[in-house]
Chain A
């Protein structure tokens, strides 16, 4: 594992009118590390994810990505072509609603194969084999490769989205509440899958969630946000078991025990 962060953000500010969505936010992510951004609605966690992934430009501050070759890419100054190339190859994005990250009218195999075709794969059999392998990895029966995602359950759609994202072996994956809206048992299966894949592939993950249990299970480090500011950050189990900030203590004490 290199000593250099794979993503570095500093001095981020973002306002929507009078509302400060991000207020002097800094963050670093290292290769192979899972960082969870924990917060309630209005905390700025989704804005932070959008700024970090280049979707929304901050009012101030910068985001630097260290690519596979070791070069520093200024995410908001690199230009659309460079960002799209990154988004297709070294980055991945898992949306909260799998329908936002899938082509519903394209078969499961086509969904998984698309990123491969976008970076030049031209052998039908090879694309299909890769798609089958990834469907298996996310525990979707490869026999369903030609089925449309709109015939899948929510959990299956989410797993398909994950396969579609990981097929080009990205180094950094942004996840926005990946288990939001799913049934509890389905969530458990998905979290387990994400945990295993992250470990197997050595992925760096930036995970936005409001669910403390998800953060505890998946994340190495935790960043707690409130009203656009980072109020506490550190090792996940330390932040959750020995919270220092008043807001973090409130969050942790609010969790309902099973």
Chain B
């Protein structure tokens, strides 16, 4: 195990911990996995997920990926369901501030590394930015084929008929595909991938995104990636094309009709408001008005 790295950004790191918490060998192992993942877009790469100071299911995969790629000059943004101010986003942001001493921000445009749970920021990302997704279940075929050995074979052979059958069944039963989040995508025309539980509405943002997209699943011990400008297509049928869905309403704060909205219940009498889920974007728009 490596010694604690004394150099850190202004503010200093926690004594007794390596920069960004993980030891250098672990970072090297994770970076190797990331390189493999980037080389084969959408393909799940196993990695030695480490014990982290928070339980499985709370973002350990995303944190390990961020810890492996973040450097002292980076600026980190962390969002949870689009918001910077939820408990988990705050905790993770503070964690990295302490163990890496990096600058943090709530402005998407100012961040170099963005760790996210369940949303892609509304502000379009640019080259040089890294988006790190927290992934609970990396296997898109999980509910259709529970056997891991079999799903690995299906991915290796590119045999994805099973998923198309699921889409067919949805359309036959309900007239439309019923998947509203974690909508399966085809990456680079080769691998079927779970985009993580982001709303289907966000899927189009992934297609040819200029930023690097990294995915970490800590409990399942898998890493995958989508390099910049890679094709990401949501599965559909020619006569039932994919349609990103959002609530048919405007944000109560900024008035946007293009962003993904959270529905907030305001009282016991059925009152509700729709608000942008992306707090940074909403705040910017409101400020401009």
Q: Please, which residues of chain A bring their CB within 8 A of the CB of B159? A: 84, 88, 118
Closest chain A residue to B236, Cβ basis: A122
Asked if B161 and A115 make an inter-chain contact with CB atoms under 8 angstroms apart, the answer reads: yes
> Is A114 part of the contact surface with B, judged by Cβ < 8 Å?
yes
**Considering residues B160, B161, B162, which has the most beta carbons from chain A within 10 angstroms of its beta carbon?**
B161
Binds A, one of B73-81, B99-107, B224-232, B237-245: B237-245
Asked if B169 and A125 make an inter-chain contact with CB atoms under 8 angstroms apart, the answer reads: no
> Is B164 part of the contact surface with A, judged by Cβ < 8 Å?
yes
Asked if A123 and B237 make an inter-chain contact with CB atoms under 8 angstroms apart, the answer reads: yes
Q: When chains A and B are docked, how far (Å) is the Cα of A84 from the Cα of B164?
A: 18
Q: When chains A and B are docked, how far (Å) is the Cα of A117 from the Cα of B168?
A: 9
* Contact flag A109-B172 (CB < 8 Å), given A122-B238, A124-B239, A124-B240: yes
Asked if B173 and A124 make an inter-chain contact with CB atoms under 8 angstroms apart, the answer reads: no
* Contact flag A107-B237 (CB < 8 Å), given A80-B157, A84-B159, A115-B161: no
Q: When chains A and B are docked, how far (Å) is the Cα of A176 from the Cα of B196?
A: 42
Q: When chains A and B are docked, how far (Å) is the Cα of A125 from the Cα of B238?
A: 9
Of A80, A114, A123, which contacts B238 at CB under 8 A? A123
Asked if A107 and B172 make an inter-chain contact with CB atoms under 8 angstroms apart, the answer reads: yes
How many chain B residues have a CB neighbour from A under 8 Å?
18
Q: When chains A and B are docked, how far (Å) is the Cα of A108 from the Cα of B130?
A: 45
| Inter-chain residue pair count (beta carbon < 8 A) | 53
> Is B171 part of the contact surface with A, judged by Cβ < 8 Å?
yes
* Contact flag A117-B165 (CB < 8 Å), given A123-B239, A124-B240: yes
> Is A81 part of the contact surface with B, judged by Cβ < 8 Å?
yes
Asked if A110 and B165 make an inter-chain contact with CB atoms under 8 angstroms apart, the answer reads: yes
- Chain A 96-124 residues near chain B, CB threshold 8 A: 103, 106-107, 109-110, 113-115, 117-118, 122-124
Closest chain B residue to A145, Cβ basis: B172
Interface string of A50-93 (1 = CB under 8 A from B): 00000000000000000000000000000011001000100000
> Is A192 part of the contact surface with B, judged by Cβ < 8 Å?
no
Minimum Cβ distance to chain B for residue A142 (Å)? 13
**Considering residues B164, B171, B173, B237, which has the most beta carbons from chain A within 10 angstroms of its beta carbon?**
B164
Interface positions of B (Cβ within 8 A of A): 153, 156-157, 159-162, 164-165, 168-169, 171-173, 237-240
Q: Which 9 A-B pairs have the closest CB atoms?
A: A118-B161, A117-B164, A124-B237, A123-B238, A117-B161, A114-B165, A110-B165, A124-B240, A146-B172
List 20 A–B pairs whose Cβ atoms lie within 8 Å, in order of A's numbering: A80-B153, A80-B157, A84-B157, A88-B159, A107-B169, A107-B172, A107-B173, A114-B162, A115-B161, A117-B161, A117-B168, A122-B164, A122-B238, A123-B237, A124-B237, A124-B239, A127-B168, A127-B237, A145-B172, A146-B172
